[in-house]
Homo-oligomer: A and B are copies of this chain.
Amino acid sequence: MTQNAQRNPPELLYLLHSDPGELAEALEGMRAADVAEALLSLHPDAASKVMAALPFEMAVQVFDEPELTHHRCDIVARMDRRAAVALIEAMSSDQQADLFRELPPAKQKSLLELLTPDTRSGLVELLVHAPHTAGGIMTTELVSVPASFTVAQTLAHIRSVGQAKETVYAIYVTDDASGALVHTVSLRALMFADPSQLARDVGDQRAPLRVQARTDREEVARTISKYNLLAIPVVDEADRVLGIVTVDDVIDAIVREQTEDVQKFGGMEALDAPYMEISFFDMVKKRAGWLMALFLSEMLTATAMQHYEHEIEKAVVLSMFIPLIMSSGGNSGSQATSLIIRAIALREVKLSDFWKIAARELPTGLVLGVILGIIGIIRILIWQHVGLYDYGPHFAKIAFTIGGALVGVVTFGSLAGSMLPFLLKRLGFDPASASAPFVATLVDVTGLVIYFSVATAILSGTLLP
């Protein structure tokens, strides 16, 4: 906990139980992000009353907090329409777009009509972009100057318009005629430059970093993080600056992507909402899909087992190790998959590294399989000798069947688990869909086949015919 956050909980607790008027007064001493957090735990009815009671300046800042997303929409629906419009007009453009994307179409239309023509047209332009793209998370409040501006002119320009901008620390220099981006200069570099110099001549003279409006937000995050930027310009086909994505938006995007990846890896659709806020029906829907798909695939195990019915009848003892052997395959597969998904996400490995990975996972899987196999063999021998269970006269052969099957299953699990994300990526799916349950299911059927093949090879003539 930070020192700062520690001060809040008692205040918040008090706030939640006092009347909206007092509440707003107490909220004034807090930061916008804290107020937003407090609003999240209030019912939208109460939250909208708090919003109405807040000083306008503070209300705008609170509404600019991306954490409010789902709630913001419910609050607006309950607010006085005129108050809502004033608030929206004062929000930053990326948050306006975010809010409108969540509103029901009817509400969206009725609110749009009340906005000033400028805000409306800006908003309509932003809403064209898909929410997962650079265009979908950019804001249009940036500082740009023509290439003919000197450092002094640029600094004066920042002073005159800067207060309404998302950031003044990166200034975008555009071609006077075409409006195309020609240079990015930092406020820091301008401060140290000769005032009579052209702004475009200050700092790094390489082509400025930029992303296209349709660039995926994950790629935007990667670029900002790789080059340690505070913001990156978003351009159209003609290289004109449409907006900027700032580093704080990117952190939100990274955290959101991360949540999606973890949930997908757990074997379900991404929730797209906080756990506590999603409705029961949506929760079941998001989970049932994959669960049913996995269940239907896993039915193949029942079919596979039918084939080995006679073997099981002859040697019931074989059935006892089915869970152990199957789970070992699933576990080793899950390990390999999580490693590869992450390595792909971080661009540590490429599709073309397929064979290199296979060449690593094969010996890794073998060694892991041998380790588990030895433990398995020892377990059976101990149980037999101590008398915990009688595996019959062929106990040694049974032990080696289990050991051999484990080597095969764990090796196959590691290989299959590492290859699945590649395969999905090659087929155009998200490699993160290669969830632990998906891999386990994939490995289970093969695991049974491996197990009973090893059993037949070792035990035929003794336990098996």
Q: Interface on A for B, CB 8 Å cutoff?
A: 1-5, 29, 31, 33, 37, 67, 158-159, 162-163, 168-169, 187-188, 191-192, 206-207, 209-212, 215, 219-220, 223-228, 230, 247-248, 250-252, 254-255, 258-259, 261-263, 265-268, 271, 274-276, 280, 283-284, 287-288, 290-292, 294-296, 298-299, 301-302, 305-306, 309, 312-313, 316, 319-324, 326-328, 330-332, 334-343, 346, 348-349, 353, 356-357, 360, 363-364, 367-368, 371-372, 375-376, 379, 389, 410, 435-437, 440-441, 444, 448
Q: Which residue of B lies closest to A221 (CB)?
A: B251
* A67 CA / B263 CA spacing, docked (Å): 27
Sorted nearest first, the 10 A-B pairs with minimum C-beta distance are A266-B338, A436-B436, A301-B323, A305-B320, A275-B343, A331-B437, A228-B248, A319-B319, A225-B251, A268-B335
Shortest Cβ distance from A12 into chain B, in angstroms?
13
Identical copies of this chain, number: 2
- Cβ contacts under 8 Å, A284 to chain B: 364, 367-368
- In the complex where A323-B444, A339-B263 touch, is A295 in contact with B375 (Cβ < 8 A)? yes
- Cβ contacts under 8 Å, A227 to chain B: 31, 33
- Cβ contacts under 8 Å, A255 to chain B: 225, 254, 346
Query: Are the CB atoms of B262 and A341 closer together than 8 Å?
Result: yes
* A235 CA / B349 CA spacing, docked (Å): 39
Q: Could you list 6 A-B pairs, sorted by A, with CB under 8 Å?
A: A276-B343, A276-B353, A276-B356, A287-B364, A331-B437, A334-B436
* A284 CA / B284 CA spacing, docked (Å): 38
- Cβ contacts under 8 Å, A258 to chain B: 254, 258
Query: Are the CB atoms of B168 and A191 closer together than 8 Å?
Result: yes
Query: Are the CB atoms of B342 and A324 closer together than 8 Å?
Result: no
Query: Are the CB atoms of B348 and A295 closer together than 8 Å?
Result: no
Shortest Cβ distance from A195 into chain B, in angstroms?
12
Query: Are the CB atoms of A274 and B4 closer together than 8 Å?
Result: no
Query: Are the CB atoms of B436 and A275 closer together than 8 Å?
Result: no
- Cβ contacts under 8 Å, A357 to chain B: 275
- Cβ contacts under 8 Å, A287 to chain B: 332, 335, 364, 368
Query: Are the CB atoms of A342 and B259 closer together than 8 Å?
Result: yes
Query: Are the CB atoms of A334 and B254 closer together than 8 Å?
Result: no
Question: Given A266-B337, A275-B340, 8 more contacts at CB 8 Å?
Answer: A31-B206, A67-B226, A262-B342, A268-B335, A280-B363, A283-B364, A288-B367, A291-B372
